[in-house]
């Protein structure tokens, strides 16, 4: 049987404090996933012929990824 660290009542009492933090973590994860997806597209573009490559874009994506992390 799994050991419980909180009773259901104690856990429910903490939901008001934990929920906003969890929502913030989810939002940061979405931002990181979005930046990672754009970075993967950029890598494919560069691996091709690099057409329409904006040299500032990798730096901006890295900054966004770091900010979300």
Task: Tell me, yes or no, whether 28 lies in a domain.
Answer: yes
Task: Tell me, yes or no, whether 61 lies in a domain.
Answer: yes
Task: Tell me, yes or no, whether 27 lies in a domain.
Answer: yes
Host H or E run for residue 50: none
Task: Tell me, yes or no, whether 43 lies in a domain.
Answer: yes
Q: What is the pLDDT of residues 6-58, one digit of tens each?
A: 999 999 999 999 999 999 999 999 998 998 898 898 888 888 887 777 888 88
- Residue 62, helix vs strand vs coil: helix
Domain ranges, residue 65: 22-48+55-69
Task: Tell me, yes or no, whether 13 lies in a domain.
Answer: no
Task: Tell me, yes or no, whether 40 lies in a domain.
Answer: yes
Task: Tell me, yes or no, whether 8 lies in a domain.
Answer: no
Angstrom distance (rounded) from CA 54 to CA 61: 11
Task: Tell me, yes or no, whether 17 lies in a domain.
Answer: no
The total number of structural domains in the chain stands at: 1
> What's the pLDDT at 53?
77
């Amino acid at each position: 049987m799994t050991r419980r660290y909180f009773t259901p009542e104690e856990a429910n009492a903490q939901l008001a404090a934990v929920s906003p933090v969890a929502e913030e973590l989810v939002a940061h994860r979405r931002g990181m996933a979005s930046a990672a997806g754009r970075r993967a597209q950029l890598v494919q573009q560069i691996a091709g012929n690099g057409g329409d490559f904006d040299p500032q874009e990798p730096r901006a994506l890295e900054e966004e990824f770091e900010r979300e992390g």
